[in-house]
Structure 1
Amino acid sequence: MRILLALTWLAWLGACTSIEQPRPDFADDDLPPIATAPAAGRSGGVFNAVTAWSLASDGRAYRPGDTLTVTLEETTQASKRADTKFGKNGDMAVKPGVLFGSTVPFDSSFGAKRNFDGGGSSSQQNTLRGEITVIVNQVLAGGLLQVKGEKVLSLNQGEEVMRLSGYVRQADIDTNNRVSSRRIANARIKYVGKGALSDSNSAGWLTRFFNSPWMPF
C-alpha cells in the first residue's frame, strides 16, 4: 500500500513539472549589431560619403543606422462554427401467424430512434495599437530595409517588452519617417510581460493540470 501511494505521489509531481507555466524570453539574441559598411573611395576634406545628407532628402530612413518609427495597427479576427445533426428511425412489427393449422396469438412491434445534435463555435480577436522606433539593420538588394527594434517599459508591478523586426520598402515610408506595421513584410511582433501583474493573469498549476493532456477526463 505504501509503495502504491509513493508511486502515485511521484506521478503527480511529474505531471505538475511537465505543465510548467511558459515564461517569455527576454534575451537579446535576436538583435544583432548593426552592420554599417564603410563607403567606397576616399573621404577627405569637408565631404564625408558615409555621413553626408543630400540637400534634396526629406529625412526618411534609407541606410544602416537610421531610425524609423513604426505605427502599430494590428487587428486580427477569426471565427469558426460547426453544426452537425443526424437521425435514424426504425420500426418493425410482427403479426399473428399460423402454426400447424392454428393461429398463434402473437402480435408485437419494435421501434428504434436515434438522434444526434452537436455544435461548436470559437472566436478570437486581437488588437495592438501604439508606436515603436526601430533601427535599420541592413539594406538589401533593391533597397529593401531590414529593421529591428525593442521597447522596454518597467512599471511598478512588472515589465513590458515590445519587439519588432521585418522588412520595409523605402517607398512605404512617409515624409514624417513613419511606416504602418501593415506594410512590413515578414513582420515579427512580440509583446510580452513579466511580474506580478502578468502572473495574476496566469492560471495556477492545478488549473493547468486539469486542462493538460494528462487529465484523462
Structure 2
Amino acid sequence: MIPFGTPRGILLLGLMAASLSACGTLSRLSDVGRDPAMTPTQDPTKDPKWRPLTMPMPTARPSPNEANALWRSGSRAFFKDQRAAQVGDIVTVLVNMNDAANLKNVTSATRASSESAGLPNLFGLEAIVPAAVNPSKLLSASSGNSNVGTGQIQRTEAVTLRLAGIITQVLPNGNLVVAASQEFLVNSELRQLKVTGVIRPQDIASDNTVQHDRMAEARIAYGGKGQLTDLQRARWGEQMMDILMPF
C-alpha cells in the first residue's frame, strides 16, 4: 500500500486525477473555436439521472358520489380548470429570492498561572544538600496563554427567475412533481437554469404560476459554461494542490 502523504503517493493521486479529468478536458478541447453546444429539447424523464420521486402518502379515501350534483369533489372550477394538473402539463415557476445574512463573532481568552514549591526543613537532612541548592526554592513554574479570535460573515443573494416547467409525476395524494430547464446562449456563454420540486395543485395561481417558496424539495440551479466561466474556475492542478499541500 502506497502512503498518500509521500511524494510517490502525491504523484499517484495526480495521475489518478488526470485520468479522471481526461474526459472533461477532451470535451472542453472539442469546443475550442466554437460556441458551447446547447442541450436539445427532450423529455426530462429520459435523462439517465432522472428518478421517479416517492413521498410519504396519506391513506387513500374514496371520493363520495353526490346524487343529482354536477360538482366534483376536489375541483377548482365548474367547467374547466386551465391550471396544470396532469403529467405533461406546463406550469410557470417564479423564483424571487432575496436573502441576506450578517454574522459577527469575537472571542478573547487570557490565562496566567504560577507554581512554586520548597522544602526548607526535612529532619535535618537539608544540611547535606549542596550549598548551590536552596531547599526553600526547589521548584518554580509559570505559564501564560492568550487567544483572540474574530470572525465575520456577510452574505447577500438576489435571484429572480421565471421559467416554465413540465409536470413529470402526479403523486398518489395529488401533489405534482415539476421539472423546469432553460438554456441561454449569449456571446459564447451558455447559461443553464434548472428547477425541480414538488408543488400542491392549490398553490398554482389562476395564471398557472407557482412561487418557489411553495415548492417542497426544491432544487434551484443557475450556472453555465463557456470561455468566461473557464477563466473564473481554478485549474484542476491548482485544486489538487490546495487539497494536498499541507502548508
Cα contact 2:44–2:168 (8 A) shared by 1? no
Question: What is the TM-score when the length of structure 1 is the normalising length?
Answer: 0.66
**SS state of the match for residue 160, structure 2?**
strand
Q: Give unmatched runs, 5+ long, in structure 1.
A: 1-6, 34-53
Distance 1:165 1:183 in 2: 12
Once the 2 structures are TM-superposed, how far is the Cα of residue 27 of structure 1 from its aligned partner? 7.7
Once the 2 structures are TM-superposed, how far is the Cα of residue 183 of structure 1 from its aligned partner? 0.6
Cα contact 2:165–2:180 (8 A) shared by 1? yes
Q: How does 1:38-49 map to 2 (within 5 A)?
A: none
Matched, 1:18 2:17: yes
State the Cα RMSD in Å. 4.0
Which residue does 2:144 correspond to in 1? Answer: 114
Q: How does 1:121-160 map to 2 (within 5 A)?
A: 121=151, 123=153, 126-160=157-191
Q: Which amino acid aligns with 1:151?
A: Q
Aligned residues with identical type, % of pairs = 24
Change (3 A) 1:56 1:183: same
Once the 2 structures are TM-superposed, how far is the Cα of residue 72 of structure 1 from its aligned partner? 0.7
Distance 2:225 2:213 in 1: 27
Which residue does 2:193 correspond to in 1? Answer: 162
Matched, 1:85 2:85: no
Change (3 A) 1:27 1:67: same
Distance 1:102 1:204 in 2: 70
Once the 2 structures are TM-superposed, how far is the Cα of residue 68 of structure 1 from its aligned partner? 0.9
Cα contact 1:58–1:175 (8 A) shared by 2? no
Question: What is the TM-score when the length of structure 2 is the normalising length?
Answer: 0.59
Of the structure 1 ranges 92-101 and 108-117, higher mean CA displacement relative to structure 2 is found in 92-101
Change (3 A) 1:96 1:211: same
Q: Out of 68, 84, 93, which is 1:70 matched to?
A: 93
Which residue does 1:31 correspond to in 2? Answer: 44
**SS state of the match for residue 83, structure 2?**
coil
Distance 2:241 2:148 in 1: 24
**SS state of the match for residue 44, structure 2?**
coil
Distance 2:223 2:173 in 1: 33
Distance 2:189 2:245 in 1: 32
Change (3 A) 1:95 1:32: same
Which residue does 1:46 correspond to in 2? Answer: none
Larger fraction in helix: 2
Cα contact 1:82–1:119 (8 A) shared by 2? yes
Which residue does 1:42 correspond to in 2? Answer: none
Change (3 A) 1:11 1:102: closer
Q: Give unmatched runs, 5+ long, in structure 2.
A: 1-5, 25-37, 47-76
Cα contact 1:96–1:103 (8 A) shared by 2? no
Which residue does 1:61 correspond to in 2? Answer: 84
Once the 2 structures are TM-superposed, how far is the Cα of residue 202 of structure 1 from its aligned partner? 1.0
Aligned residues: 187
Q: How does 1:165-204 map to 2 (within 5 A)?
A: 165-204=196-235
Once the 2 structures are TM-superposed, how far is the Cα of residue 209 of structure 1 from its aligned partner? 3.0
